[in-house]
């Protein structure tokens, strides 16, 4: 159990730091009237989780260590549903219904598509 916790802790820490760095990087070149940083990490994270999932399933080993480190830890730390929800609420509160619809729908649909693409790439 302690090893499992350490794997999740390590992967989550790396994912969280990378999420922060992507947000800083994106804020330097995009207008912030749309939550591009969270959008980008969620889409990239969906692709990565699909690839990892496909690799783990196609492996002859169970891949429990990889799942804990990479899926639960890294992807859990890298992507962020709470920030996604907050940013959607903020868009609704300022009456930016067009950006809310664009952000919410494209994040969910593109995220699901990228999991599928990642899975297909890996399997």
Q: Which residues are annotated as a binding site for Na(+)?
A: 76, 79
Domain boundaries, the chain: 2-122
26-68 confidence digits (pLDDT tens): 887 777 678 888 899 999 989 988 888 888 777 766 678 888 9
Rounded to two decimals, what is the model's pTM?
0.78
Contact 79, 19 (CB under 8 A): yes
Alpha carbon distance 54, 122 (integer Å): 5
With H, G, I as helix, E, B as strand and everything else as coil, classify residue 50. helix
* Residue showing tokens 């899926």: 71
Q: Highest mean pLDDT range out of 9-13, 33-37, 50-54, 80-84? A: 9-13
Query: What percent of the chain clears pLDDT 70, i.e. is strictly above it?
Result: 97
For 72, how many CA atoms within 13 A lie in the half-sphere containing its CB?
A: 14
% of residues, the chain, pLDDT over 90: 51
In the annotated binding site, the residues are 76, 79
100: left (phi over 0), alpha (psi -120 to 50) or beta: alpha
The answer to whether 11 touches 69, Cβ cutoff 8 Å, is yes
């Amino acid at each position: 159990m302690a090893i499992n916790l350490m794997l999740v802790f390590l992967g989550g820490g790396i994912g969280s730091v990378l999420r922060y760095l992507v947000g800083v990087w994106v804020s330097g070149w995009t207008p912030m009237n749309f939550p591009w940083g969270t959008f980008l990490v969620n889409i990239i994270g969906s692709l990565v989780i699909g690839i990892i999932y496909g690799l783990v399933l196609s492996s002859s080993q169970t891949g429990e260590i990889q799942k804990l480190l990479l899926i639960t830890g890294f992807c859990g730390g890298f992507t962020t549903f709470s920030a996604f929800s907050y940013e959607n609420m903020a868009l609704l509160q300022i009456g930016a219904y067009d950006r809310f619809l664009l952000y919410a729908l494209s994040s969910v649909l593109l995220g699901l598509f990228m999991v599928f693409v990642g899975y297909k790439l890996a399997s």
